[in-house]
Amino acid sequence: MRKSLDIINQVMGSETKEGIKMSTDQCPHCGGYCLPPLRRSFLGPLTSAPCRSCGERVSVPGWSVFTVAPIIIAVAVVPNYTTDPHLVAMSAVLLSMLTSLLNDTFVPLVKSKN
């Protein structure tokens, strides 16, 4: 189990070359606290933001776009199965929370190319 977690961390880029585990909210430049959660949730692969600690620009990897799949499901699929507006709204909120959880848990910050 530990070996498979190590492989996942390496593939997702959340482990440094020295093998030290980095948190997904640490700056890849200085290792300090980088962005507040709300700002980080709106960060995409084509955008960047300055680190609060060192001022260098950070972004997220390109594969992070797949973490928005639950929102796409909420918008495209759920309304086709029910006409109850309360259920559609509740599904949208729950799937948005799932998207936020996926983003915060699995998407690391990377050095910006901009």
Encoded amino acid at 58, one letter? V
pLDDT tens profile 95-112: 888 888 888 888 888 998
Return the sign of the alpha-carbon dihedral for residues 73, 79, 81, 82.
Answer: positive
- With the CA atoms of 72, 96, 11 and 19 taken in that order, what torsion angle do they form, in degrees rounded to the nearest 10? 170
Parse the chain into domains and list their residue ranges: 22-111
pLDDT tens profile 31-83: 888 888 888 888 888 889 999 989 999 999 988 888 888 878 777 887 788 88
State the pLDDT at residue 58: 93
* Listed residue (4, 2, 18, 8) closest to 105, CA to CA: 8
State the pLDDT at residue 49: 92
State the pLDDT at residue 3: 52
pTM higher than 0.75: no
